[in-house]
Chains A and B, each alone.
Chain A
Amino acid sequence: MPLLKVRNIETYYGPIMAIKGVSFDVEQGAIVTILGANGAGKTTILKTISGVMDPEKGSIEFMGQPIEGLPPDRIVRLGISQVPEGREVFHDLTVKENLMMGAYPRKDRDGIKKDLQMVYGYFPILGERTAQLAGDMSGGQQQMVVIARALMARPKLMLLDEPSLGLSPLLVKEIYAIIKRINTEQKTTILLVEQNAPMALSTASHGFVLELGRIVMDDSCDALLANEDVKEFYLGIKEEGVRGERRWKRKKKWR
């Protein structure tokens, strides 16, 4: 049984339908990615899963239990944590306080202590700066704080929204290596939304391409990496053409 089952969800912003009927599964233990351009509806899907937004139609099942329409805090307690886009730390709290906010729903003091050590293991810099205000940290460190904060809730499924946004290529590599480690070592299933397609496709095992609120491709990441349309429109690889430069785009076919 898949860990997460999304069926026919439609989500609106006022009168505008952002998600026009999306269905997919996320298998236990996998890293699955959703690629798409700005405004394709990637973040809206994550928000609909985590309960920040409610779908107008469709259902979401997590470990066999329907969760659509539940309040976000209930969903967190069930084991889904979202890492929002744009490094939203609590600026006026220290690193440790930020991490403890992630453990807010938990009661097991010992477990929380152990997990603090676990995240410091993944992000040593956070262990060195536990007392620093999160707002004073660099962008890369803030990104580490939000991932670590999500981990503190001991999620079974982590929703990652553009972890590479605004980070240097070196940092992106570093963060992705840690994501991969968390996935293997902690058995955390990850649903990853990314614009950085090369990074996402090399990290995940399965991927979806979302266009205008609809899934147009559904395949293994290896197959997606080899797909002509993915290459041209998401990886920026295209034949140079006869003139050595080409501005016009082929028609997307998605097959």
Chain B
Amino acid sequence: MGQLSWFNNSSRGPTDMETSVLAECNTIPRLFWKRVGQWSDRTALREKVFGIWREISWREYGQHAKYVGLGLIELGLSRGDRIAIISENNPEWLYSDMGILAAGGVTVGIYPTDSPNQVEYVLNHSGAKFYIAEDEEQLDKVLEVRDTIPRLQKIIIMDMKGLRHFSDPMTISFDELLTMGKKLDDHQPGLFRERLEGPQPEDLAILIYTSGTTGPPKGAMISHRNILDTMAMQNEVNPGYENDEVLSFLPLCHIAQRMVSTFNSLLGGYVMNFVEELETVPENMREVSPTIFFAVPRIWEKFYSALVLTMKESTGLEKAAYRWATDIGQKVSDYRLMGSESPWHLKAFFKLAEWTVLRNLKKMIGLNRARYCLSGAAPISPDLLKFYHGLGIDIREVYGQTENCGPTSIHYEGDVKFGTVGRPLPGAQIRIADDGEILLKGPHVFMGYYNDPQKTRETIVDGWLHTGDVGRFDADGHLIITDRKKDIIITAGGKNITPSEIENQLKFSPYINDAVVIGDGRKYLAALIMIDDENVMKYAQENRIPFTTYASLTKAREVIQLIQREVDNVNKKFAQVETIKKFRLIDIQLTTDDEEITPTMKLKRKFISEKFKDVIESMY
């Protein structure tokens, strides 16, 4: 099989070639450079320039990375220096990442939505020497605070638009950096090879700053070995191949997107496609039609709402066809997930359903070629997973944290069980502590928090990573997450309640984007709800509910009644003490620039409860 299966999707698990490549290349630069040589003319990246998808080969990718690395060396990078990147996802991000790692530096990703003060914090905390900025906007952030960042030496700007007349001794353009790198390469052709052999497997490779729910962000230290082992473990259960396509659109400074759309391709060799911007994700999805797709629950909820509302506006015949097809899809999926074959007549019907209805639905959201999809970074409603399986989309849930490079447990190929987050990755051990906390041991457990031995000691105890999540195993050995340990609500009546379960049910409504359930030390549960503006506006229009702005929409009596009905429906699924007695709608439109919401678009419980303190109090 070996060689052949490399070009064939039907194989399972890693091939000998992959295993041997990892034995040979035990750091990211070594593996990257091996791939550049091996896959030189194959497409590595695709980006849309002036409306046309442009392909970038592994050779080009490698050459750019090399010149970035050498340019930084010329600027004075020594081994172990931290270099920050602040940019939306683009090829330059990857050139920089690979260049930094090859030169022996440590990459520190900063969220492009961060404020100047947040940028200042990360730069000072990491002691970054260089700052690679996407454009004028990201440049301005650092200029505003650079007086208080003594260790920062150089600012490199990818896109010089609007900066023609700007000059500052501290800044150079990305192109200038590449030219410097090229010059150095012409001078000392062997230098790059020599440098990329420098980093060792146990060395720090990247710092991932996690948005702490308490206190300032912490810098999780991830080694080369951490990353490579995670890739190998992941690939064993959910492999990617060279003819796969992935879409890069969630922030690259987040561990999940970084693994999926930067590192994992070094193993599978699939093509990474960059979206133009967040607003164009739906169009880019349809254009690229990814075969492996990772997204956060919020995106899956959006697609679901879009499909449901489209069906609402369709004709009676279309509605009937939709119900018929998804019904068959559900049945087939039930058989498949139980591990048995569907009866032949069902198979025949499913073929028909696929051709007439399901195919078109999947095309609408750009998932018609998807081999498998992943949902992670936040809990997702099992009903939602079920819905996608009914469409014939094989969606798997991954649970994890930055502190172990992402995946802690995952649904293996062919072993998806709703309501669970799958099994530990092969080679990892999960143990449930006496207080219910999920503990993890494995080669992907991180090195600790940068410059924070105290936090590190609290998090890794005797080699076990304390996840801060509470959960249990079911009879088949699938992990079930209850909630964040500190989010568990104990009501005034002494009842333990896991808010995320209720929140997920609420989010399942097409009219609700996100919710925060409150009730710790209180007599009953209440919720702050963020409505789905598009869908609620549509509802208001259809039902002639007058409104002017977003705020007035959230105050419209009929809208509150609509949400009340959705809340009532969810309440039916829970015991009396777990029902939402009161709720309020958040009356401002939160964007990723706000601190109340994470870059992956989750409401932050702590910030929300603080900002809307008065609103919360008004419910009790």
Residues of A within 8 A of B (CB): 7-8, 10, 20-24, 57-59, 208, 214-218, 241-243, 246-248, 251, 253-255
Contact = CB atoms under 8 A, between A and B. Distances in A.
B549 A8 contact: no
A50 to B, nearest CB: 21
Nearest to B146: A242
Contact of B140 (A214, A217, A241): A241
Nearest to B544: A8
B544 A242 contact: no
A21 B550 CA distance: 12
Contact of B548 (A10, A208, A241): A208
Given A8-B545, A241-B140, A218 B589 contact: no
A37 to B, nearest CB: 17
Contacts of A22: 548
Given A215-B548, A216-B550, A255-B589, A10 B140 contact: no
A24 B541 contact: no
B244 to A, nearest CB: 33
Contact of B136 (A21, A57, A248): A248
A242 B144 contact: yes
Contacts of A246: 136, 140
A217 B545 contact: no
B250 interface: no
Given A215-B548, A218-B548, A241-B140, 13 more contacts: A7-B544, A7-B546, A8-B541, A8-B546, A57-B541, A59-B544, A216-B549, A241-B143, A243-B143, A243-B166, A247-B162, A248-B140, A255-B588
5 contacts: A20-B541, A23-B548, A248-B136, A248-B162, A253-B591
4 tightest A-B contacts by CB? A23-B546, A247-B162, A218-B548, A242-B143
A10 B541 contact: yes
A21 B537 contact: yes
Given A216-B549, A217-B549, A58 B589 contact: no
Interface in B140-184: 140, 143-144, 161-162, 166
B474 interface: no
B591 A251 contact: yes
Contact of A243 (B140, B537, B544, B546): B140
B601 to A, nearest CB: 14
Contacts of A218: 548-549, 552
Contact of B549 (A58, A242, A248, A254): A254
Contacts of B540: 8, 21
Contacts of B135: 248
B137 interface: yes
Contacts of A251: 591, 593
A23 B558 CA distance: 15
Nearest to A24: B548
Contacts of B537: 20-21, 214
For chain A, what secondary structure do more than half of its interface residues adopt (helix, strand, loop), or is it mixed?
Answer: strand
A163 to B, nearest CB: 24
Contacts of A216: 549-550
B355 interface: no
A57 B140 CA distance: 46
A249 to B, nearest CB: 9
A22 B541 CA distance: 9
Contacts of A247: 136, 161-162
B547 interface: yes
B348 interface: no
A59 to B, nearest CB: 8
Interface in B85-117: none
B540 to A, nearest CB: 7
Contacts of B545: 8
Nearest to A208: B548
B378 to A, nearest CB: 22
Contact of A248 (B137, B548, B552, B589): B137
Nearest to A23: B546
A7 B556 CA distance: 13
B556 to A, nearest CB: 10
A10 B537 CA distance: 12
B551 interface: yes
B145 to A, nearest CB: 9
Contacts of B550: 216, 254
A23 B548 CA distance: 6
Interface string B115-139: 0000000000000000000011100
- Listed residue (A7, A22, A23, A24) with the most chain B CB atoms within 10 angstroms of its CB: A23
B593 A242 contact: no
A59 B136 CA distance: 46
Contacts of B144: 241-242
- Listed residue (B140, B544, B548) with the most chain A CB atoms within 10 angstroms of its CB: B548
B146 to A, nearest CB: 9
Nearest to B590: A253
Contacts of B547: 21, 23
A24 B546 CA distance: 8
- Listed residue (A215, A216, A255) with the most chain B CB atoms within 10 angstroms of its CB: A255
A251 B550 CA distance: 16
Given A248-B162, A251-B591, A21 B549 contact: no
B541 A21 contact: yes
- Listed residue (A7, A10, A24, A243) with the most chain B CB atoms within 10 angstroms of its CB: A243
A255 B541 contact: no
Contacts of A7: 544, 546
A142 to B, nearest CB: 34
- Listed residue (B136, B144, B540, B591) with the most chain A CB atoms within 10 angstroms of its CB: B136
Contacts of A242: 140, 143-144
